[in-house]
Chains A and B, each alone.
Chain A
Amino acid sequence: MATSFCLKGNEFDRSNLFIDNAYPESSGKIDVSMFKLSSYQLNEKLKIKAHPLYFFLNPSIELNWLHKANDKSAFATYHKISYPSLMLNFVKKEGTLGIISNEFEIPQMIAIGNGILYSSSFGQDSYWTAKAGIEFSLGGSELDDRTAIDLPVVAPRDEVYYRNYGFNVALSVESHFAGKFRYVVMTEGFLFPADGSRFYWENSLKLVWKISNKFELCGGAFLAYGQYEFGNQWHLLPALDFNWKFN
C-alpha cells in the first residue's frame, strides 16, 4: 500500500503548505484533498474549511480567524462544528459494510471545537504549526457505547461523542526535502478525561510530491496509538493523499 514518489520540485511558499496552518490562503485559492479539509480565504481575517466531498455525508465546517500575522509567523483561532449523526446512520446497517450494528439508535448530536493555531517559519522553506484545542459534544449522552468504532483515525475523532469533551494538541513541520519533494512530519495527541479517560496519539511522516502547480501527491506512514475498549494498541498504516488546487 506504500507509495513513494520521485520527481524534481522547487521552492514553495506558506500559502501552499500541506500542513494545517494559521497563514492566510492565497486569494481565490481552493484546494481539494482526500483527507484534508479544503480551505478558502473569505476575507483577510477569515478562512473557511470544509470537505467538498464528505460534507454531504459528514457535515463539518471550520472557521480560522487570523488575529496576528507578519512575514514570519501567524496566530489564529479555529472554531468548528460537526454533525456526525448522518454519517453514523449511513454506516449503521445489516450485512456487508455495516460498520455499526443496526440494533442501535443514533441520536442527533453535534460537536463544537475551539482552539488556537500558531505557525512560523524556520530556516529556508521550513514551517511549523502548533495547535491546541478543546471539543465538546451535545446529544452524545444518549449514544450507546457499543456503537463505538474501535479503529485508528476514527476512534479519536468520535470519542468526544461518548465522553462529552476532549482536548487535542498537535505539532506539524513541513520543509523542502529534495527537488519537487517536501516532507511533512505531524504528531497529534487526543485526551478525553471523562469516564476513566482515553488517550490517542497519532504520528505521520509523509513526502509531498509537487507534480505541477495544481496537483500534488502525498505518501508515507502513519503510526497511531490508542486506548481502546479492548486495550491499548499501536497501528502502523500507509498514508496516501492528494492535493488539487483551483485558483
Chain B
Amino acid sequence: MTKVLLFFGILLILFACEPLTETFDDYSCIKYQANKIKDIPVPDSGIKVMTWNIRFGAGRILWFGESCGKRVIMTKEETILHLDSLAAKINEIKPQILMLEEVDISSKRSAYIDQIQYLLDKTHLNYGVYSSDWKSQFIPSDGLGKMDDGQGILSVWQLEDIQRHDLPLRGDIDALTKYFYKRYCIVSAKVKAPGIDNLYAMALHFVAFSVDDTKQKHVAKLMEIVNKMNAENKKFILGGDFNLLPPNAKQTDYCIEDMCTWESYHQPGDDPQHKEGSYYTPEITWMQDVFDNLKPSLALSDYALNPVKYYTHGTNPELFWDRTIDYLFSNSDWVTNSHKVHQEAWHISDHAPVVATWRVK
C-alpha cells in the first residue's frame, strides 16, 4: 500500500510543475500601496492625469532591444538613479492619476527592483495596480533572464475592481519566440476619488514591432472594451503608448532615423525593406477609430498646427523627439488646452510624459 501511495504521490506532484513563461490564463493583477500614505486630496474642477512609458527605468542607455545598443542588464545603482529621476519628475508634475507602461517589478535587466513600489514610496502617489504583460521565470535569450514587465496605474486615491484585458498575440513571429514574447494587455481599475462615481482609469501598451495587423487588432479590442464601458455608463480615462501615429501625421516612415549603423533599409535587395516598429505607413489610419469615438486630450487639429510640440518619442538619444505615439483619451471632457508633453524629460526615458486635466462634472 505504501508503495502504491508513493507512486501516485510522485505522479501528483509532477503535475504541479510551474510553467517557464506566464501565459496569463489564470493571472491576477497586483495591488500596491505606498509604505506611507500621503495626502488624499478631494478633486476640485479637474483631475491631473499623466501617461508615461518609463522604459523600465533604463533612462537613455543604449539597450540592445530598441536603441542599437549592446547593454542588457543594468546595475542596481544605475537603475535607482534612473528611478530617482522618474520620481523627481512625477513629483514636479504631480499628477493625481498616472498610467505607466514598460514598468518592471522583478526583472533581471533592472536589478529586480519593484518599480511600482519604489515610485509609490518616492512620490506623492498612494495606491497602485499592476498587470504583467511579459512574465517569465527565465528568458534564454541575450542574457535577459527573469522578466516581469507590464503596465501600472498609480493614483492618490484607492483603486479597486482591477481587471486585465488580454490583447491578441503577435501573429508575425515563430512559435518559440511567441512563447517567450510579450503578451500585451490593457489594465483597468476603478478610481475611488471622493465625489466621483464610476470613474475608471485604463493603461495600455500596444505592440511595438509587429509587421502584420496585430496593432489593428489591438485597436479593435480596445474599442470593444470602450463600448462595454460606455454601455455600463462608466466614465473612464485612458492613457498609454499606442505605438501608432496620429492619422494626420505627415511623416510615417522612420526607418532611416531608427536604423542602426550596421543595418540597411529601402535599398534594392534589402530584406526586410523596412525596420520593424519604424514603418507606420500601412498603419496610419488605425488610430482614426479611437479619435472618432473617444475624446482625445490632444485634438488632431491642434496636432496638425504644430506636430513637433506634441512629439512624445524618439529612439536616438542624440536627437530630439520625432514622433507622437503616446496619448490620453476619455469618454468625458478634458479641460481645454490642458494637454502638455513634458519634452524636457529627454534624459529620463525614450518617451516623454503626457499630461492633461480631466474635467470633473
Q: How far is the CA of A130 from the CA of B26 in the complex (A)?
A: 42
B216 at the interface (CB under 8 A from A): no
- Within 78-96 of A, Cβ neighbours of B (below 8 Å) are at 92, 94-96
| Shortest distance from the beta carbon of B180 to any chain A beta carbon, whole Å | 9
Contacts of A94 in B (CB 8 A): 64, 142
Which residue of A is nearest B112, CB measured?
Answer: A230
Chain A proximity mask over B1-29: 1 for CB below 8 Å, otherwise 0: 00100110011011111100000000000
Contact across chains for A221 and B71 when beta carbons are under 8 A apart: no
Contact with A along B35-75 (1 / 0, CB 8 A): 00000000000000000000000000000100000111101
Closest approach, in angstroms, between the C-beta of A89 and any C-beta of chain B?
A: 13
Task: Tell me how far the C-beta of B310 lies from the nearest C-beta in chain A, rounded to whole angstroms.
Answer: 35
**Which residues of chain B have C-beta atoms less than 8 A from A147's C-beta?**
143
A150 to B112, CA, bound (A): 11
Q: B285 at interface (Cβ–Cβ under 8 A)?
A: no
Known A102-B142, A146-B75: A238·B106 in contact at CB below 8 Å: no
Q: A92-B143, A97-B141, A149-B145 are in contact. Are A221 and B14 (CB under 8 A)?
A: yes
The answer to the question of B269 belonging to the interface, with a C-beta cut-off of 8 Å to chain A, is no
Q: For the complex, is B108 an interface residue (Cβ under 8 Å from A)?
A: yes
Q: Is A136 an interface residue (CB 8 A)?
A: no
B146 cross-chain contacts in A, Cβ below 8 A: 150, 230
Q: What is the CA–CA distance of A223 and B43 in the complex, to the nearest angstrom?
A: 52
Our pick among B15, B64, B143 for the contact of A100 (Cβ within 8 Å) is: B143
Which of B14, B72, B106, B108 contacts A103, CB < 8 Å?
Answer: B72
User: CB of B138 within 8 A of chain A?
Assistant: yes
Residue among A4, A92, A99, A102 facing the most chain B CB atoms (10 A cut-off): A99
Q: How large is the interface on B (under 10, 10 to 19, 20 to 34, 35 or more residues)?
A: 20 to 34
Known contacts A221-B13, A230-B106; is-contact A103 B112 (Cβ 8 Å): no
Contacts A101-B73, A103-B71, A236-B18 hold; do A150 and B145 have CB atoms under 8 A apart?
yes
B71 A96 Cβ-Cβ under 8 A: no
CB neighbours of A100 from chain B (8 A)? 143
Complex alpha-carbon distance, A1 and B141, angstroms: 23
Q: How does the 8 Å CB contact mask read for A216-247 relative to B, with 1 for contact and 0 for none?
A: 00001100000001110001111000000000
- Which residue of chain A is the closest to B71 with respect to CB atoms? A103
**In chain B, what residue has the closest Cβ to A205?**
B10
Interface size on A, residues (CB 8 A): 34
Interface centre among B14, B106, B112, B138 (most CB of A within 10 A): B14
Q: Which of A2, A97, A98, A102 contacts B14 (CB 8 A)?
A: A2
Taking a contact as CB atoms under 8 Å apart, the answer to whether A95 and B106 are in contact is no
A47 vs B13: C-alpha distance when bound (angstroms): 36
* Residue B140 CB within 8 A of the other chain: yes
Bound-state Cα–Cα, A31 to B144, Å = 36
Q: Compute the total of residue contacts between A and B using a CB distance below 8 Å.
A: 79
Q: Is the CB of B16 within 8 A of A236?
A: yes
Interfacial chain B residues near A97, Cβ < 8 Å: 140-141
CB of A7, distance to nearest CB on chain B (Å): 13
Chain A neighbourhood of B137, CB < 8 A: 151
Instruction: List A contacts of B18 (CB < 8 A).
Output: 235-236
Measured between beta carbons, the chain B residues less than 8 angstroms from A235 are: 18
**In the complex, which residues of chain B have a beta carbon less than 8 angstroms from the beta carbon of A96?**
140-141, 176
Residues from chain A with a CB closer than 8 A to the CB of B75 are 146
Q: Which residue of A lies closest to B180 (CB)?
A: A96
A215 beta carbon closer than 8 Å to chain B: no
B6, B64, B142, B176 interface centre (most CB from chain A within 10 Å): B142
Residues on the A chain within 8 Å of B11, using CB: 2, 4
Q: Is A207 in the interface zone, CB < 8 Å from B?
A: yes
Interchain CA distance A68-B72 in the complex, whole Å: 52
Q: Shortest beta-carbon distance, A218 to chain B, in Å? A: 12
- The verdict on A178 contacting chain B, using a C-beta distance below 8 Å, is yes
Residues in B whose Cβ lies below 8 Å from that of A177: 3, 6
Query: Which single member of B13, B141, B145 contacts A236 (CB below 8 Å)?
Result: B13
The verdict on A201 contacting chain B, using a C-beta distance below 8 Å, is: no
Residue of A nearest to B105 (CB): A230
**Top 8 closest pairs, chain A to chain B, by CB:** A101-B143, A2-B14, A101-B72, A230-B112, A146-B73, A98-B142, A100-B143, A221-B13
Interface residues of B (CB under 8 A from A): 3, 6-7, 10-11, 13-18, 64, 70-73, 75, 106, 108, 112, 137-138, 140-146, 176
10 additional A-B pairs beyond A92-B143, A205-B10, A236-B18, beta carbons within 8 Å, are A2-B14, A95-B141, A102-B142, A103-B72, A103-B73, A103-B143, A104-B143, A149-B145, A221-B13, A236-B16
